[in-house]
Amino acid sequence: MDAVDHGARKHALLSASSASRWLACTPSARLEDKFMQSNKEKPNVFADEGTLAHEIADLALKAFKGDISPKVYEKELIKLKKHPLYYPEMVFEVQDYVDLVIETYLVAKKEDPAALLFIEERLDFSHLVEQGFGTGDACIISNGVLEVIDLKFGKGVKVDADNNPQLMLYGAGALAAYDFLYDINTVRLTIVQPRLDHVSTWDISVQDLEAWGQKVVRPQAVKAYKGEGVQKAGEHCKFCKVKAMCATLASVNVKLAQHEFKDPHYLTDQQIVDVFKQIPMLVDWANAVGDYLLQQALQGKKVQGYKVVEGRSNRRWVDETTVSNSLFVAGYKEDDYVVKKLAGIPAIEKLLGKKEFTETLGKLVDLPPGKPTLVPDTDKRPAIGGVEQAIKDFTD
């Protein structure tokens, strides 16, 4: 398989990254494709930042494998650091993923000298999905285990590997590429989110993965590729590009306002829970509708009853160095206009490394209890005590 050029990455119609969506709502892929063809897509800073992080990780792992020399590594890294989205901590954050891949590979190599490491390769799962392919950040094969390790640089939502459709499709693609060469019985899927200090690993047998591909993926993929099936609303709508115009999602959310309340003055406890459950999807949908109308207005389309105005802005220095020099010349002391602040805990931990940080500063770090938050029963975090205890922990 050929190595992937990050800058030229393209997503298939039925991409692995959107699998949770088109598997649940089969018409969504074609609807998104049609929307993107008729609307200019806004630049996605988060996606671009993630691509940059992957390029840095790819470079580091290639240097580890000896695919590139230390000199080439330094030269290419300097180029990447000139990217407008680069910031100094990024290299350290990406290094957590790089270290995990290297450690996993070295352990595998110790147990199985024939262990192999593949970096940033195109994974083809078109035997299950029409024109289906994705990118495997890192794949390790040893002792009958094929491990697919995926770097997710975002810090918005923790993502688990358990039954993750994207990783399972990557696993199916890697299995299709390597199974005839190696005796593989287990596929291990690992997600690394360095900025959330989160690593999730899940194993699935080759038989179960293949059964899922044939019984679940293939039938849905056929309908999705044709744009057939019934639209369904749910958590998978969060990143859908057409959610602002989706009649099905609108219908689900509008039902909240049409809820039949027997007592016009008070809601029952169950009714309050029903409303609370839908808040995330309702707010997300409402924001998407507002953003869509704003973009339409900015492109010159008249939005009945609304107009675009300039929002609130804040003053900022045109050139901080010139301001500082001007104040110095005017006779002001530097302490009067320069604010010095200790770097945050994550930055200092990256500077020292986790071991030295713990030994040197561990006793000087306090971790107060987090604010009590109501989450679904399926959340993996342990439940705290009663209300009285929660209030006490939070106020102490």
And the tokens for 258? 């049409």
In this prediction, residue 42 carries a pLDDT of 66
Determine contact, residues 170/209, Cβ cutoff 8 Å.
no
300: left (phi over 0), alpha (psi -120 to 50) or beta: left
Which residue ranges make up each domain of the chain? 6-226, 242-298
Q: Say which residues have a Cβ less than 8 Å from residue 171's Cβ, sequence separation at least 6.
A: 146, 148, 187, 189, 204, 209
In this prediction, residue 393 carries a pLDDT of 55
Pick the CATH number of 6-226 from 3.30.70, 1.10.287, 1.10.10, 3.90.320: 3.90.320
What are the residue ranges in the chain where pLDDT is below 70?
1-11, 40-43, 256-264, 385-396
Q: What is the DSSP string of 208-246?
A: HHHHHIIIIIHHHHHHHHHT-S----SGGGTT-TTGGG-
In this prediction, residue 38 carries a pLDDT of 73
Rounded Cα–Cα distance for residues 31 and 38 (Å):
11
In this prediction, residue 339 carries a pLDDT of 87
Q: What is the pLDDT of residues 110-168, one digit of tens each?
A: 999 999 999 998 999 999 999 999 999 999 999 999 999 999 998 888 899 999 999 99
Rounded Cα–Cα distance for residues 28 and 18 (Å):
10
In this prediction, residue 376 carries a pLDDT of 81
In this prediction, residue 112 carries a pLDDT of 93
